[in-house]
Protein backbone atom coordinates (compact mmCIF):
# COMPACT_ATOMS: atom_id res chain seq x y z
CA UNK A 1 0.00 0.00 0.00
CA UNK A 2 1.47 3.37 -1.00
CA UNK A 3 1.04 6.71 0.82
CA UNK A 4 -1.87 7.88 -1.37
CA UNK A 5 -3.84 4.65 -0.82
CA UNK A 6 -3.24 4.93 2.93
CA UNK A 7 -4.41 8.55 2.99
CA UNK A 8 -7.59 7.69 1.03
CA UNK A 9 -8.32 4.79 3.41
CA UNK A 10 -7.84 6.98 6.49
CA UNK A 11 -9.99 9.77 5.04
CA UNK A 12 -12.74 7.27 4.18
CA UNK A 13 -12.72 5.94 7.75
CA UNK A 14 -12.60 9.39 9.30
CA UNK A 15 -16.03 10.51 8.10
CA UNK A 16 -18.23 11.66 10.98
CA UNK A 17 -21.81 13.00 11.19
CA UNK A 18 -20.54 16.52 10.81
CA UNK A 19 -18.37 15.68 7.83
CA UNK A 20 -14.77 14.67 7.53
CA UNK A 21 -12.84 14.17 10.76
CA UNK A 22 -9.12 14.48 11.12
CA UNK A 23 -6.67 11.67 10.39
CA UNK A 24 -5.07 12.37 13.74
CA UNK A 25 -8.36 11.76 15.59
CA UNK A 26 -8.93 8.49 13.68
CA UNK A 27 -5.40 7.31 14.45
CA UNK A 28 -5.90 8.22 18.12
CA UNK A 29 -9.14 6.18 18.21
CA UNK A 30 -7.48 3.21 16.51
CA UNK A 31 -4.59 3.22 18.98
CA UNK A 32 -7.00 3.63 21.89
CA UNK A 33 -9.07 0.67 20.65
CA UNK A 34 -6.00 -1.51 20.33
CA UNK A 35 -4.84 -0.53 23.83
CA UNK A 36 -8.28 -1.31 25.28
CA UNK A 37 -8.28 -4.72 23.58
CA UNK A 38 -4.85 -5.51 24.95
CA UNK A 39 -5.90 -4.41 28.44
CA UNK A 40 -8.94 -6.68 28.26
CA UNK A 41 -6.78 -9.68 27.37
CA UNK A 42 -4.37 -9.00 30.20
CA UNK A 43 -7.16 -9.12 32.78
CA UNK A 44 -6.94 -12.90 33.05
CA UNK A 45 -6.07 -13.97 36.60
CA UNK A 46 -2.38 -14.39 37.34
CA UNK A 47 -2.76 -18.16 37.84
CA UNK A 48 -4.21 -18.56 34.33
CA UNK A 49 -1.59 -16.31 32.72
CA UNK A 50 1.32 -18.31 34.05
CA UNK A 51 -0.42 -21.72 33.72
CA UNK A 52 0.18 -22.24 37.42
CA UNK A 53 -2.66 -23.87 39.30
CA UNK A 54 -3.43 -24.29 42.98
CA UNK A 55 -2.80 -27.59 44.74
CA UNK A 56 -5.07 -29.53 47.10
CA UNK A 57 -6.04 -27.56 50.20
CA UNK A 58 -5.15 -24.16 48.70
CA UNK A 59 -7.72 -21.33 49.12
CA UNK A 60 -9.62 -20.66 45.87
CA UNK A 61 -12.61 -18.90 44.33
CA UNK A 62 -13.45 -21.09 41.29
CA UNK A 63 -12.77 -24.65 40.09
CA UNK A 64 -10.54 -23.54 37.20
CA UNK A 65 -7.94 -22.22 39.65
CA UNK A 66 -7.35 -25.75 40.98
CA UNK A 67 -4.88 -28.17 39.37
CA UNK A 68 -6.89 -30.61 37.22
CA UNK A 69 -3.89 -32.41 35.70
CA UNK A 70 -4.25 -35.70 37.60
CA UNK A 71 -7.88 -35.83 38.74
CA UNK A 72 -10.99 -33.69 39.04
CA UNK A 73 -10.47 -31.02 41.72
CA UNK A 74 -13.18 -28.61 42.88
CA UNK A 75 -13.24 -25.29 44.69
CA UNK A 76 -15.58 -25.99 47.59
CA UNK A 77 -15.90 -26.07 51.37
CA UNK A 78 -14.01 -28.94 52.99
CA UNK A 79 -15.65 -28.38 56.41
CA UNK A 80 -12.37 -27.28 58.04
CA UNK A 81 -12.24 -23.78 59.53
CA UNK A 82 -8.45 -23.50 59.79
CA UNK A 83 -7.90 -23.18 56.03
CA UNK A 84 -10.56 -20.66 55.02
CA UNK A 85 -13.94 -20.91 53.31
CA UNK A 86 -13.29 -22.52 49.92
CA UNK A 87 -10.34 -24.72 49.05
CA UNK A 88 -9.21 -26.94 46.19
CA UNK A 89 -10.62 -30.33 47.21
CA UNK A 90 -11.65 -33.72 45.83
CA UNK A 91 -15.07 -35.19 45.12
CA UNK A 92 -16.17 -38.72 45.87
CA UNK A 93 -13.59 -41.38 44.93
CA UNK A 94 -10.81 -38.78 44.54
CA UNK A 95 -7.39 -40.06 45.62
CA UNK A 96 -6.56 -38.15 48.83
CA UNK A 97 -3.42 -40.05 49.87
CA UNK A 98 -2.50 -41.60 53.19
CA UNK A 99 -1.14 -38.62 55.15
CA UNK A 100 -2.65 -37.07 58.24
CA UNK A 101 -4.20 -34.21 56.19
CA UNK A 102 -5.98 -36.50 53.69
CA UNK A 103 -9.48 -35.70 54.95
CA UNK A 104 -8.87 -31.96 54.53
CA UNK A 105 -8.36 -32.68 50.80
CA UNK A 106 -11.93 -34.04 50.49
CA UNK A 107 -14.88 -31.73 49.75
CA UNK A 108 -17.86 -31.37 52.05
CA UNK A 109 -18.31 -33.92 54.81
CA UNK A 110 -16.40 -36.70 53.04
CA UNK A 111 -13.43 -38.32 54.76
CA UNK A 112 -10.28 -39.89 53.39
CA UNK A 113 -10.79 -43.65 53.78
CA UNK A 114 -7.89 -45.85 52.66
CA UNK A 115 -6.66 -43.08 50.36
CA UNK A 116 -10.06 -42.38 48.74
CA UNK A 117 -12.53 -39.56 49.50
CA UNK A 118 -15.83 -41.11 50.48
CA UNK A 119 -18.98 -40.31 52.39
CA UNK A 120 -18.55 -41.51 55.99
CA UNK A 121 -21.93 -43.26 55.82
CA UNK A 122 -21.11 -45.15 52.63
CA UNK A 123 -20.01 -48.77 52.84
CA UNK A 124 -16.35 -49.35 51.97
CA UNK A 125 -15.89 -51.22 48.71
CA UNK A 126 -13.70 -54.33 48.98
CA UNK A 127 -12.14 -56.77 46.53
CA UNK A 128 -14.89 -58.52 44.52
CA UNK A 129 -17.48 -55.75 45.02
CA UNK A 130 -19.08 -54.02 41.99
CA UNK A 131 -17.46 -50.72 40.92
CA UNK A 132 -17.53 -48.12 38.16
CA UNK A 133 -13.95 -46.80 38.19
CA UNK A 134 -10.51 -47.72 39.55
CA UNK A 135 -10.62 -44.92 42.13
CA UNK A 136 -13.41 -46.73 43.98
CA UNK A 137 -11.23 -49.76 44.68
CA UNK A 138 -9.23 -49.54 47.93
CA UNK A 139 -5.46 -49.08 47.75
CA UNK A 140 -3.41 -51.83 49.33
CA UNK A 141 -0.04 -53.60 49.22
CA UNK A 142 0.79 -55.88 46.29
CA UNK A 143 -0.72 -55.62 42.82
CA UNK A 144 -3.31 -52.81 42.85
CA UNK A 145 -7.04 -53.42 42.80
CA UNK A 146 -8.56 -52.22 39.55
CA UNK A 147 -12.14 -52.00 38.31
CA UNK A 148 -12.70 -54.55 35.53
CA UNK A 149 -15.00 -57.30 34.36
CA UNK A 150 -14.14 -60.59 36.08
CA UNK A 151 -14.43 -64.23 35.03
CA UNK A 152 -17.64 -64.93 36.93
CA UNK A 153 -19.41 -61.76 35.76
CA UNK A 154 -21.69 -63.05 33.00
CA UNK A 155 -23.65 -59.80 33.00
CA UNK A 156 -20.43 -57.78 32.38
CA UNK A 157 -20.50 -56.23 35.88
CA UNK A 158 -17.22 -54.53 36.71
CA UNK A 159 -15.68 -55.42 40.08
CA UNK A 160 -12.66 -54.43 42.16
CA UNK A 161 -10.19 -57.16 41.29
CA UNK A 162 -6.47 -58.04 41.08
CA UNK A 163 -4.35 -59.03 38.13
CA UNK A 164 -2.13 -62.15 38.00
CA UNK A 165 -0.20 -62.76 41.21
CA UNK A 166 -2.50 -60.71 43.43
CA UNK A 167 -4.06 -62.22 46.54
CA UNK A 168 -7.69 -63.37 46.39
CA UNK A 169 -10.35 -65.37 48.20
CA UNK A 170 -12.59 -66.19 45.19
CA UNK A 171 -12.64 -65.93 41.39
CA UNK A 172 -14.63 -62.66 41.72
CA UNK A 173 -11.47 -61.05 43.09
CA UNK A 174 -9.40 -61.82 39.95
CA UNK A 175 -9.46 -59.73 36.75
CA UNK A 176 -9.33 -60.75 33.10
CA UNK A 177 -10.79 -64.24 33.30
CA UNK A 178 -8.25 -65.35 35.90
CA UNK A 179 -9.05 -67.89 38.63
CA UNK A 180 -8.24 -67.76 42.33
CA UNK A 181 -5.89 -70.71 43.02
CA UNK A 182 -4.41 -71.23 46.49
CA UNK A 183 -5.17 -67.60 47.43
CA UNK A 184 -3.57 -66.02 44.33
CA UNK A 185 -4.96 -64.90 40.95
CA UNK A 186 -3.63 -67.25 38.23
| pLDDT tens digits, one per residue of 66-103 | 998 888 899 999 888 777 789 999 988 788 887 777 88
* CB half-sphere exposure, 139, CA atoms < 13 A: 13
Percent of the chain with pLDDT over 90: 12
Q: How many helices (H) and strands (E) does the chain have?
A: 3, 10
Distance of CA 79 to the CA centre of its chain: 20
Q: What is the pTM of this model?
A: 0.45
Instruction: HSE, CB side, 13 Å, CA atoms: give it for residue 183.
Output: 0
What percent of the chain has a predicted confidence (pLDDT) above 70?
A: 66
Q: In angstroms, rounded to a whole number, what is the distance separating the alpha carbons of residues 166 and 143? A: 5
Where does the pLDDT of residue 112 fall: very low under 50, low under 70, confident under 90, or very high at 90 and above?
Answer: confident
Amino acid sequence: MDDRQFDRLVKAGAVTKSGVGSRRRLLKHLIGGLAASAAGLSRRPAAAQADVYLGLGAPCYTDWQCDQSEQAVYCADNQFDFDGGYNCCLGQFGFCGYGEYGTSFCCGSMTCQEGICNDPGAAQIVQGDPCEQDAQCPRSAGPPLICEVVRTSYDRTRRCCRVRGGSCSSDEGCCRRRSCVNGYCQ
